[in-house]
Amino acid sequence: MKLPELPYWDAVVIGAGPAGSVAARLLAQSGARVLLVDRKRFPRQKICGACWSASGLELLEAIGVRSGIDALAGIKLRQLHLRSSCANLRVPMPEGLAVSRAAADTVLVQYAIEAGVRFCPNVRAVVEPTSENTRRVRLHSECPGDLSPMGVEAGIVFAADGLGHSSLCELPEFEQQAVKDSHIGAGCTTTDFPASLQTGTIHMVIGRAGYVGLVIVESSVLNVAAALAPSLVRQEGSLANAVTAVLREGGFPAIPALADADWCGTPHLTRREPRVAAKRLFVLGDAAGYAEPFTGEGMTWAVMGACAVQPLAQRALRSWHPKMIWEWTAICRRMFGRRHLGCRALAGLLRIPLAVSGVGRLLGMSPYLASQVVKVMGRTPGTEAIKRSLGYELQDSRNGHCCSGAPDQSGGSSGTRAESYLSNRPAG
C-alpha cells in the first residue's frame, strides 16, 4: 500500500486495532476526512487472549459492527476453566466470543473503509511536535522501494498503536513506565492440540511465574496467550519452554506442537502512561496504559475509549482548547482507573502460590461464589451507560449527520449529553 496522496486530514489515526479502527470509523461517519495507518501488513496476528466479553459484544452491537464479527464463525464462550497445582475449577461465565485478532481486526478495518476512512497498512507513523492549528505526522512506508518519508498535517491525531506506542517516540513526555515486576507477553496459534481441550471454554493455567490462557477460535485453531515472569523465560531458554513449564506445573495436558509454533513476544505488559493527551493529540487503547486483563476486557476497553473520545474529538476539530487535554485525562481515569487497579491486584495475587491455593479452594467449595466472581471480572463498568449516552449520536452518524451537534430530545446537543455522562458517572 502506497503512502496517502493528500497532505491534510481532519484526523490521522495510528494503529488499526479495535481502538483505532472504531475511532476512525465513528469519526468518518460524522463527516471527517480520516486517515488510518498501521505499520503491519494486514491481516496480521497479534498476541491477545482473542476473547470478547459479553459487555464488549453488546458495545459492538450498539455501534453497528456486531454482525461482521458474528459472521466470522467464532466460538461462543460459556465457561472458564481455572487450573493450577492446587485447584481445578470450572465455572460458567456470561456468554462471550472467541475469535482471532487477525480476523476481527480485518473486519473492523473494513467497516472503517466502508465509512470513508483511507487505510494504509505497512506504514510507520511518527508524531511530530504540534504547529499552531495542526499536528504533523511523518509517515514511512515499510514497502520495498518506498524510501522517502511523507509528512501530513492533521487537525487531530489518535495514537492507538498499542504497547510502547512507537508513534510517540519523539515526544519524551509520553514515555511509558513499566510497572515493577511486570510480566512479559507471549503468544502463538496452532492447529495441533489435544482433542480433550473443550471448545467454548477459556482455559486459564496458573503457575508460580506466570499464567497461560488457551482458547479455541474459529477454524479449530488454538490461540495461546501468556503472561510470564522474565526470569522464567531466561531460565527455560525460550517462550515455548516457559509456557510449557507453566502448563506442566498446573497439571494441564501437554501440547507438543508449541515447541514448533511461531511465537511472538511483547515488552513488559503492565504500564503506566504519564500522559494520555497533548495539543491535538489523544492516546487510545493499550497505548493509554495497560493492565493484564483476564476475560476479554482488553478489547472492550479499547472500543469504549474509541466511543468516548468522539464528542471531544469533534469539538477539537471545530475549535481546539487546551482544557481538552484535561478532559480526556479525566475521562480515562474515570473509565479505566479502578478497573486497571483491580486487574493489577489480581495479577499480583496470581504471583502468590498460597493465595492462589486458598482462593481456588474457596471457590471450589462454592460454585455460586465462583460464578459471581467470574461475572464481575467479565463485566466492564460503564458500557451500558456509554451505549445509552452514545446510542443517539451513533445512530445519527450512520444516517450521515454530524453526531456532535445533533439535537437530542431534551433540547441539548448529543455531544453534550455524552460528555455529561463521562464527566459525572462514578469512577471505575
Give me the chain's average pLDDT, please. 81
Give the whole-angstrom CA distance, residue 327 versus residue 288: 14
Q: Give the pLDDT mean for 335-358.
A: 68
At a CB cut-off of 8 Å and minimum separation 6, what does 196 contact?
253
Q: Give the pLDDT mean for 321-344.
A: 84
Regarding beta strands 150-159 and 281-283, do their DSSP bridges make them parallel or antiparallel, or are they unpaired? Answer: parallel
pLDDT in tens, 39-64: 999 888 888 889 998 889 999 999 99
Residue 281 has pLDDT above 70, yes or no: yes
Residue 181, number of CB atoms within 10 A of its CB:
13
What is the reported pLDDT for 401?
A: 39
What is the reported pLDDT for 27?
A: 97
Q: Give the pLDDT mean for 322-341.
A: 86
What is the reported pLDDT for 170?
A: 92
User: Is the model more confident about 260 or about 350?
Assistant: 260
What is the reported pLDDT for 32?
A: 97
User: Is the model more confident about 144 or about 368?
Assistant: 144
Ranges of each domain in the chain: 8-75+100-178+271-424
- Cell numbers for 177, please give them: 513506565
Q: How many CA atoms, within 13 angstroms, populate the side-chain half-sphere of residue 33?
A: 11
Residue 314 binned pLDDT confidence (cut-offs 50, 70, 90): very high
What is the reported pLDDT for 273?
A: 65
- Cell numbers for 66, please give them: 456486531
What is the reported pLDDT for 283?
A: 95
Which residues make beta-bridge pairs with 228?
Answer: 184, 210
Give the whole-angstrom CA distance, residue 390 versus residue 127: 29
Give the whole-angstrom CA distance, residue 64 versus residue 368: 34
Q: Give the pLDDT mean for 367-389.
A: 55
Residue 148, number of CB atoms within 10 A of its CB:
7
pLDDT in tens, 10-37: 999 999 999 999 999 999 999 999 999 9
User: Is the model more confident about 45 or about 245?
Assistant: 245
Residue 6 has pLDDT above 70, yes or no: yes
User: Is the model more confident about 16 or about 344?
Assistant: 16
Q: Torsion angle, CA of 134/140/141/144, rounded to 10 degrees? A: 160
Do 27 and 160 form a contact (C-beta atoms < 8 A)?
no
pLDDT in tens, 184-242: 889 999 999 999 899 999 999 988 888 899 999 999 999 999 999 999 999 999 999 99
Stretch among 236-245, 301-310, 347-356 having the lowest mean pLDDT: 347-356
User: Is the model more confident about 391 or about 403?
Assistant: 391
What is the reported pLDDT for 347?
A: 65
Stretch among 97-106, 168-177, 350-359 having the lowest mean pLDDT: 350-359
What is the reported pLDDT for 11?
A: 97
- Cell numbers for 417, please give them: 449529553
What is the reported pLDDT for 405?
A: 33
Q: Give the pLDDT mean for 378-388.
A: 54
Tell me which architecture the domain covering 8-75+100-178+271-424 has in CATH: 3-Layer(bba) Sandwich (3.50)
* Full-model pTM: 0.84
Residue 88 binned pLDDT confidence (cut-offs 50, 70, 90): confident
Residue 177 has pLDDT above 80, yes or no: no
Residue 324 has pLDDT above 90, yes or no: yes
Range from 1-5, 88-92, 104-108 that averages highest in pLDDT: 104-108
Residue 108 binned pLDDT confidence (cut-offs 50, 70, 90): very high
